Amino acid sequence: QVQLMESGGGLVQPGGSLRLSCAASGSIFSVNNMAWYRQAPGKQRELVAGITSGGLTNYADSAKGPFTISRDNAKNTASLQMNSLKPEDTAVYYCRSCSGYGCLYVSWGPGTQVTVSS
């Protein structure tokens, strides 16, 4: 199906920035939507930002403004630019793809750790 691999995570100070990347392989031409999720310790996985094949985006309230999701279809990548990071943003970030109508087929990456701490 679709294989996803995240990169770009790491340790950053509050107020700093990180750019996460998601590389897709496999049945990439069938991908409709892509999204970034995150899961903090002891919490459920939550949507951070999503983007359709046409470029329509949606964000969690906490991500509006400081975060920007984008995709490069030619390079088969999706990115999440994270600015003004806060300790509350500490989590494992996952890339997700949807294929088919209404996200009929779902693929997940293994995740990348983001830690915001002084």
pLDDT at residue 94 in the model: 98
Residue 87 to residue 32: CA distance in whole angstroms:
32
pLDDT tens by residue, 65-100: 999 999 988 888 999 999 999 999 999 999 999 988
Model confidence at 30: pLDDT above 80: no
Residue 115 in this model has a pLDDT that exceeds 90? yes
- HEC per residue, the chain: CEEEEEECCEEECCCCCEEEEEEEEECHHHEEEEEEEEECCCCCCEEEEEECCCCCEEECHHHCCCEEEEEECCCCEEEEEECCCCHHHCEEEEEEEEECCCCCEEEECCCEEEEECC
